[in-house]
Structures are given as structure tokens and as C-alpha cells.
């Protein structure tokens, strides 16, 4: 009996245990709970994916912002380095050039009595007496000229740097003499323009040649920077050539057209000046009659006004954010930005054509876009001007060689022009 009771109790316990397990299993695997474990895993995976994506996006934005800050700082350092060379030596007892001031208009204003005054936003500058008495510490110090001694006469036009104007300068050659000068102002924040402005200023400060315009003075004590150069009594060569045309309607005396010997003489002077420039390892980049000055004695001075914004805007072309003398430059200069003495040789040949055609626009029958296309395809064909001696025609054709290596040097040009000049008098 005892055994039967124990067996019965054991059987009851087993049934109760199985019933509990079945109830728990039914509860766990009920339809409402089906897939709950899988959903939890998918939610974890999605959360991780979103987190990784947001993290990557945040990292990318951080890199972009960091790169922008770096580029801005690099630009600022580059600009500071370019300006430092032009301003470091200008420090004196009267102060230094402010770095963050806005570009101001030309500050010299003529008064009724012929004197000049400064605008309110101009910083004090050296007086005329102190200018001549102080010892210079550099070539730029020697070229310093007080801007209050400049009396603006007329605006010639605007270039890539800013205004170009004529002014009277008293004491720039000697203390008692007043002469007319050409002044270029730096009125832009563009870094490339600052670099080119300084390059021109350095070049003119070092050059000494009878056929290159002289640098008379520099104003750097406050913005805008000014550099003052020689000017001529007959102005630029292009305007002179235009005045010799029969259809010229301008009032005043009309000079007669240049004859062949005179043209060859002008070509020889320009080539001599460019030879000197090349020997000093400088490139002009914009040689044209508009950038040459002429005196009443037909003396030529190579200059650098480059009035590309208004006066001679039609002779320039905006290409890849660069204002270029499209019709005066070879393909490697326009398309590849490779300027050299050999590109100046090409431009010289175009200047010779201007002299024979009385400043006619090269390829006037073509638009700028067509000229660019012909340059790009090496299909632009130059022809020597009518009336030019045969020896000069041969020289010009070599100057227009497509390959820069095939073009002559300016020393060769000067030598061959000398022979043409002798032949023209026989």
C-alpha cells in the first residue's frame, strides 16, 4: 500500500510539472509574442546603422569646415607674405600701413590755388621737406614720394588694379620742377592683382633703359598704394596712330602718318627696350601700342598702363577668370598661361602690324570667340602688313611661329631690324 501511495504521489507531481511547462510554453509562443526576439535584434542593428551614418556625416562636415578654415588661413598668410615684402621696409617714425583698412579713393584733391589736400580718411604722410632730408634704407625708401604733392589732372581709365590717372608732381625729379606723371592705384583685394602689382613695381624699380618708362616714385604709407611713372607729351602710341588716320574726326592738330623708315625706327626702339627687359629676366605679358608712350620726337617708351576695364576693354577678353590680350598673345599664353620672352616676341610682331595699319584691331573681322577657337586649333594665320619690306615680313612670320622654340630672341630681332633699316635707306 505504501508503494502504491508513493507511485500515485510521484505521478501527480509529474503531471503538475508538465502542466506548468505547457502553460509557460503556450504563454511564450503565443501569437502576440511571435517574432519579438527577432524584432529586438533588428532594432539594435538599425540603431547601430543610424549611429554610424550620423557619425560619418558629422566627421565629414568637420573635415569640410576644417578645410575651409585652413584654406582661408592659408590665403590670409599668402596675402600677408606678398604684402609684407612691399610694406616691411616702409615702417618709419610716422607709422606703418594698416592691414585691415578699406580701399579708399584717390586722396589728392586739387584746390583753387593749385595746392592739394587729403581726404579725411587718409593717414598722415611724410612731408616734402622730410622726404628730401631723410636717408633711405632701401630702394623703395628712395622711391618714396609724398602723395600730397600729387595733383590729379584727369582719369585715363581703369585696369585690373584700379584707376590710372594723370597728375602733376612737384619735386619728384628735383625740388623746384613740376612735371606730368602717370599714376597707377592698387584698389583691389584680389591676391593675384596684388602680386602682379608688386611685380610691376619691382620691375620698374630695377629697370634703367631709354625705351622703358621710368619709375619716379611710390606712395605706400597708406592705401591705396600708388606708383608713379613717366608720361609723354603725345600720350600712348595707339592714340597717336589713330590721330594720323584720314577719317579721324578729333579736333586739334593731326600728325601725318608715319612713313616706312619711321615705322622701322619705332620697331627698333620697341625691340631694343624688350631686349633689355628680356635680359633682366622680365616678361611684359601685354605688349601693344596702347602700352607704349610716344613723344613729339618719336621717342618710344614701353609702359604698363593696361587699361583693360574701360578705355581699351574691347581689346581684352575674359577667359578662365583672366583678362587677357587675346589678339596679341600666342596660344600657349592664352590657353596654358605660359608667358615668356617668346610670347612677348609674338606680341611684338602684332605691334609691327599696328604700326603699318594705323592701329587697326588685329583680325577685326572675327569675334573674340572665333579668334580663341582658331588659336586652340592652331588655325590662326597671320599675314605681314601691306607695305612692309620683305625682310621685315620674313622676320614677322618667324615671330608668329606656333612653337615658341622656333621664334627668334629679341637680340635676333634687334639685329635683323638693324639690317632692314639700313636696307630701307638704300
> For the chain, what are the domain ranges?
147-230, 235-418
Rg (CA), the chain: 38
CA distance 38 to 121: 76
pLDDT on residue 425:
40
Residues known to be catalytic: 286
Structurally, at CATH architecture level, domain 147-230 sits in 2-Layer Sandwich (3.30)
Do residues 167 and 108 lie in contact, with contact meaning Cβ atoms separated by under 8 Å? yes
pLDDT on residue 41:
59
Q: Name which of 254, 243, 264, 255 is nearest 356 in CA terms.
A: 264
Please enumerate in sequence order all residues whose Cβ is within 8 A of that of 345, keeping only pairs 6 or more positions apart, or say none.
274, 399, 407, 408, 409, 410, 413
10-residue stretch averages of pLDDT, the chain, 426 residues long:
46 47 45 49 73 83 79 62 48 35 37 36 35 46 87 91 93 89 91 86 89 93 91 93 88 86 97 97 95 95 87 94 95 97 98 97 96 96 95 97 97 96 45
Q: Name which of 221, 206, 224 is nearest 130 in CA terms.
A: 221
Partner residues linked to 150 by β-bridges = 169
**Which alpha helices (DSSP H) does 155-259 contain, by range?**
191-206, 237-243
Q: What are phi and psi of 5, to 5 degrees?
A: -65, -45
Nine cell digits for residue 72 = 582661408
pLDDT on residue 139:
63
Q: Is 288 exposed, middle or buried (0-12, 13-18, 19+ CB in 10 A)?
A: buried
CATH topology of 147-230 equal to that of 235-418?
Answer: no
Q: Is 218 strand, coil or helix?
A: strand
Q: What is the pTM of this model?
A: 0.67
Structurally, at CATH architecture level, domain 235-418 sits in Orthogonal Bundle (1.10)
Amino acid at each position: 500500500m505504501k508503494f502504491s501511495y508513493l507511485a500515485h504521489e510521484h505521478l501527480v507531481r509529474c503531471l503538475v510539472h508538465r502542466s506548468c511547462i505547457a502553460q509557460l510554453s503556450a504563454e511564450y509562443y503565443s501569437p502576440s509574442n511571435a517574432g519579438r526576439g527577432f524584432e529586438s535584434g533588428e532594432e539594435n542593428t538599425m540603431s547601430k546603422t543610424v549611429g554610424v551614418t550620423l557619425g560619418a556625416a558629422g566627421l565629414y562636415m568637420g573635415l569640410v569646415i576644417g578645410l575651409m578654415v585652413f584654406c582661408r588661413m592659408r590665403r590670409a598668410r599668402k596675402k600677408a607674405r606678398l604684402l609684407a615684402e612691399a610694406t616691411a621696409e616702409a615702417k618709419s617714425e610716422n607709422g606703418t600701413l594698416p592691414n585691415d583698412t578699406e580701399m579708399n579713393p584717390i586722396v589728392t584733391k586739387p584746390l583753387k590755388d593749385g595746392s592739394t589736400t587729403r581726404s579725411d580718411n587718409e593717414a598722415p604722410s611724410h612731408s616734402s621737406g622730410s622726404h628730401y632730408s631723410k636717408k633711405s634704407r632701401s630702394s623703395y625708401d628712395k622711391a618714396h614720394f609724398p602723395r600730397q604733392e600729387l595733383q590729379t589732372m584727369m582719369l585715363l581709365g581703369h585696369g585690373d588694379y584700379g584707376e590710372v590717372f594723370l597728375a602733376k608732381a612737384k619735386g619728384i625729379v628735383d625740388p623746384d620742377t613740376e612735371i606730368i606723371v602717370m599714376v597707377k592705384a592698387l584698389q583691389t583685394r584680389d591676391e593675384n592683382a596684388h602680386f602682379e602689382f608688386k611685380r610691376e613695381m619691382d620691375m620698374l624699380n630695377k629697370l634703367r633703359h631709354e625705351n622703358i618708362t621710368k619709375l619716379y616714385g611710390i606712395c605706400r604709407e597708406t592705401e591705396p598704394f600708388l606708383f608713379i611713372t613717366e608720361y609723354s607729351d603725345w600720350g600712348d602710341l595707339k592714340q597717336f596712330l589713330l590721330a594720323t588716320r584720314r577719317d579721324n574726326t578729333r579736333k586739334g592738330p593731326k600728325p601725318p602718318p608715319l612713313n616706312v623708315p619711321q615705322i622701322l625706327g619705332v620697331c627698333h626702339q620697341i625691340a631694343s627696350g624688350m631686349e633689355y627687359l628680356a635680359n633682366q629676366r622680365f616678361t611684359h605679358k601685354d605688349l601693344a601700342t596702347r602700352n607704349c608712350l610716344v613723344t613729339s620726337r618719336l621717342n618710344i617708351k614701353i609702359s604698363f598702363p593696361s587699361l583693360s576695364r574701360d578705355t581699351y576693354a574691347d581689346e581684352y577678353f575674359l577667359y578662365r577668370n583672366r583678362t587677357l590680350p587675346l589678339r596679341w598673345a600666342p596660344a600657349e599664353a592664352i590657353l596654358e598661361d605660359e608667358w615668356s620672352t617668346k610670347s612677348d616676341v609674338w606680341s611684338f610682331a602684332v605691334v609691327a602690324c599696328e604700326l603699318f595699319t594705323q592701329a587697326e584691331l588685329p583680325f577685326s573681322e572675327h569675334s573674340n570667340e572665333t579668334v580663341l577657337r582658331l588659336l586652340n586649333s592652331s588655325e590662326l594665320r597671320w599675314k605681314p602688313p601691306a607695305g612692309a619690306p620683305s625682310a621685315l615680313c620674313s622676320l614677322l612670320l618667324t615671330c608668329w611661329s606656333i612653337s615658341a622654340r622656333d621664334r627668334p630672341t629679341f637680340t635676333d630681332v634687334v639685329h635683323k631690324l638693324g639690317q632692314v633699316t639700313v636696307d630701307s635707306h638704300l
